[in-house]
């Protein structure tokens, strides 16, 4: 219990600073494991820009750790003698030291009246202590983790103590991409992971802890962390989500935390088929009933879309996350076209691109390729287009289907005008380098970011539903292809796969491709 408490307290003190100005005191109670420890000591709760802050002094005194205060430098040193662990923080300094190793803080420690305060929201996310705020009773409820079980979905402390007992540290999985589109969070990972997903309130959010995992170098170069070891991107095109945050939650053991900040409490379900993608899909009231968040499930194959009866051509889109594919089985299942990931960014080429292209060709499946766009500037977009063109050339040049710009989210928060400039720069450069008119892939909501000048490009749109068709947006009132599921099941592919439908029959698709050559 002491060891768990130490880790919980250490990270509570280290990582939980949301704001530091305009603090206002308010009367409130603090309870630790049901014992009122606030009223007896005359403690006050602080509120900073809407955040409730908890005084650390009480927790320090209750847990009994040694604390040294150097008034001259404003430095607090905390020591756990039993574990030989030292933590040093300085008021108004965003850098802390843990056992001699520097760690950045998002906000420097807040000192008011000789007391250091920690925001309640961050405490509830980052520590092994259970922390809740009862607004009706104006009480902070603190609970230490149970020792009866070595596992806790929200406990960093228990994870750390478990790993300390292991002789060897797992090499772990590598997260290469985090994106939010079409009402779902997608985590691309190289390796098998078992995410622990929970919901928290005040404010509402979904927290996904990925143990034995780290962020890839490519990811960190394109979406770097701040000095506090955290990153975030805004979500402007979803009614339920404001932003997605991610952090290196622990380095020993390796662990990544991803947080979906919600506008209000929203149910979800988890899809994890060990296929290189973990999906946290927010449930939509307009669609079929989905599993509740208390029972995460691995998704099974969805029903075919209602318009499939029209005889529309069916296809898939894949990347290296889908592993080794038996393309003959895919063809035998009735899939007649496939889009294959070729590139991302300015240098990356999918290591299964050429294998997948050849396999699909051998199975007489129409082949296309897509590039996942990360650029935030016109020059960056042109460089990414050059990377895409090089990959197409390595595959023998012209492919059957149009080349695709995959532009589906806005992690850097650039403006709508900039989004349009970047997209046009990429599309124009692809056409210049390859001689072919590309098409646009995006989500049904993100598609509204594109102005009417993009109507000259065909639209491949994602909307995950078996009943809700894609809706019209300013640039497009019809779609060329529809990605209707990210959790399909297709013979020849292990795990979930994206399912697509062309807006016409296979004969009509072949005829349109032939006309393009004339």
Catalytic residue (choose from 238, 240, 317, 498): 317
Catalytic residue (choose from 344, 408, 500, 501): 408
Phi, psi (degrees; rounded to nearest 5) at 416: -60, -40
Catalytic residue (choose from 47, 406, 498, 500): 406
Classify each residue of 291-323 as buried b or exposed e, where b means 16 or more C-beta atoms within 10 Å of its C-beta.
Answer: bebeebeebeebeebeeeeeebbbbbbbbbbbe
Give the residue from 324, 315, 257, 235 showing the smallest Cα distance to 506. Answer: 315
- E strands present in 45-114: 45-48, 51-55, 66-70, 75-80, 85-90, 95-98, 101-104, 110-112
- Residue 212 catalytic? no
Q: In whole angstroms, give the CA distance from residue 412 to residue 425.
A: 18
Phi, psi (degrees; rounded to nearest 5) at 25: -80, 150
Q: Is the peptide bond before 253 cis (omega within 30 degrees of 0)?
A: yes
| 315, HSE (Cβ side, Cα atoms, 13 Å) | 29
Check: CB of residue 447 under 8 Å from CB of residue 483: no
514 vs 117, 136, 278, 283, 360, CA distance in Å? 68, 69, 38, 41, 19
Instruction: List the beta bridge partners of residue 177.
Output: 188
| 288, HSE (Cβ side, Cα atoms, 13 Å) | 8
- Residue 408 catalytic? yes
Sign of CA dihedral 456, 462, 466, 472: negative
Give the residue from 331, 324, 329, 337 showing the smallest Cα distance to 276. Answer: 324
| Catalytic residue positions, numbered | 317, 406, 408
């Amino acid at each position: 219990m002491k060891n768990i408490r130490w880790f919980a307290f250490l990270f509570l003190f280290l990582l939980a600073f949301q704001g530091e100005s305009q603090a206002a005191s308010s009367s409130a109670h603090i309870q630790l494991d049901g014992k009122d420890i606030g009223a007896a000591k005359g403690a006050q709760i602080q509120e900073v820009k809407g955040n409730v802050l908890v005084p650390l002094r009480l927790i320090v005194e209750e847990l009994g750790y040694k604390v040294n205060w150097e008034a001259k430098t404003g430095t607090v040193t905390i020591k756990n003698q039993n574990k030989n662990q030292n933590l040093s923080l300085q008021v108004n300094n965003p850098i802390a030291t843990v056992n001699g190793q520097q760690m950045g803080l998002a906000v420097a420690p807040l000192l008011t009246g000789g007391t250091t305060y920690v925001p309640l929201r961050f405490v509830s996310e980052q520590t092994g202590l259970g922390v809740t705020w009862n607004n009706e009773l104006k009480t902070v409820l603190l609970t230490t983790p149970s020792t009866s079980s070595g596992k806790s979905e929200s406990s960093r402390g228990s994870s750390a103590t478990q790993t300390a007992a292991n002789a060897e540290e797992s090499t772990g999985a590598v997260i290469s991409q985090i994106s939010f589109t079409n009402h779902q969070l997608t985590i691309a990972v190289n390796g098998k992971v078992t995410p622990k997903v929970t919901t928290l309130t005040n404010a509402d959010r979904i927290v996904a802890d990925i143990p034995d995992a780290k962020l890839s170098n490519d990811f960190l170069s394109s979406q770097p962390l701040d000095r506090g070891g955290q990153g975030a991107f805004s979500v402007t095109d979803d009614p339920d989500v404001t932003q997605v945050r991610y952090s290196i939650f622990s380095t020993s053991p390796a662990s990544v935390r991803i947080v979906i900040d919600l506008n209000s409490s929203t149910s979800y379900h988890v899809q994890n088929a060990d296929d290189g993608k973990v999906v946290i899909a927010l449930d939509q009231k307009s669609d079929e009933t989905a599993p509740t968040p208390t029972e995460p499930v691995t998704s099974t194959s969805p029903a075919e879309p209602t318009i499939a009866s029209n005889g529309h051509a069916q296809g898939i889109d894949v990347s290296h996350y889908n592993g080794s594919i038996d393309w003959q089985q895919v063809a035998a299942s009735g899939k007649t076209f496939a889009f294959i990931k070729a590139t991302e960014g300015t240098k990356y080429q999918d290591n299964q691109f050429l294998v997948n292209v050849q396999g699909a060709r051998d199975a007489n499946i129409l082949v296309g390729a897509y590039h996942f766009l990360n650029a935030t500037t016109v020059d960056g977009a042109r460089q990414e287009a050059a990377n895409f063109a090089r990959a197409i050339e390595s595959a023998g040049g012209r492919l059957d289907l149009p080349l695709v710009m995959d532009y589906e989210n806005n992690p850097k928060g650039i403006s709508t005008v900039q989004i349009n400039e970047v997209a046009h720069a990429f599309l124009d450069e692809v056409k210049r380098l390859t001689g072919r008119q590309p098409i646009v892939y995006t989500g049904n909501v993100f598609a509204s970011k594109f102005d009417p000048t993009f109507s000259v490009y065909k639209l491949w749109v994602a909307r995950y539903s078996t009943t809700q068709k894609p809706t019209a947006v300013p640039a497009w009132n019809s779609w060329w292809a529809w990605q209707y599921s990210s959790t399909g099941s297709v013979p020849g592919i292990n795990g979930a796969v994206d399912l697509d439908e062309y807006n016409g029959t296979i004969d009509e698709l072949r005829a349109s491709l032939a006309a393009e050559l004339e």
